[in-house]
């Protein structure tokens, strides 16, 4: 019984850490995509201006 509780506890903590990692990844990805899109716009406008 204690063993089953231990497994359940480790599963829960793994899920919690996965969720935290996921949030972190989403935050980083969001920031990166924002930076990336502004870079893309900047590159496009500079190409249009110089082209």
Whole-structure pTM over 0.85, yes or no? no
Sign for the CA dihedral angle at 10, 15, 18, 20 comes to negative
How many CA atoms lie less than 13 Å away from 41 in the CB half-sphere? 6
Give residue limits of the domains in the chain. Answer: 1-50
What is the tens place of the pLDDT at every residue in 1-51?
688 888 889 999 999 999 998 898 888 888 888 877 888 788 888 888 886
Written as one string, the DSSP assignment of 1-51 is -HHHHHHHHHHHHHHHHHHHHHHHHHHHHHHHHHHHHHHHHHHHHHHHHH-
Give the pLDDT score at 34: 81
């Amino acid at each position: 019984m204690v063993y089953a509780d231990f497994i359940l506890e480790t599963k829960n903590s793994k899920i919690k850490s996965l969720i935290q990692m996921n949030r972190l990844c989403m935050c980083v990805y969001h920031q990166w995509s924002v930076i990336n899109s502004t870079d893309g716009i900047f590159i496009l406008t500079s190409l249009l201006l110089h082209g």
